[in-house]
Amino acid sequence: IHPYNANMKSFVYHPSNLRLMAELDENNYATFYEYDDDGTLVRVKKETIQGIKTINETRSSLQKAIQ
């Protein structure tokens, strides 16, 4: 419950690993956060009136040295 003219942000966390999964802004549009198996943030998506758009995407890899 909050005052009629107030703004409120809401946050959604994964129940087992407690990672931030989504953030809802004052207009109830969501920002979604996606992680890889290692727990690294790989993609941020934003809900808009036109649909869900990818805002940021990161790709990385580790190469093992051959000995």
pLDDT confidence of residue 5: 83
Structure token digits, residue 21:
């999964």
For residues 32 and 21, give the distance between their C-alpha atoms in angstroms, rounded to a whole number.
Answer: 6
- What tens digit of pLDDT does each residue of 19-65 get? 999 999 988 899 999 999 888 999 999 999 999 999 999 887 666 66
Q: Which residue has the tokens 């107030």?
A: 6
For residues 24 and 10, give the distance between their C-alpha atoms in angstroms, rounded to a whole number.
Answer: 5
pLDDT confidence of residue 63: 63
- Name every residue whose Cβ is closer than 8 Å to that of residue 14 and which is 6 or more positions away in sequence: 21
Structure token digits, residue 10:
């809401």
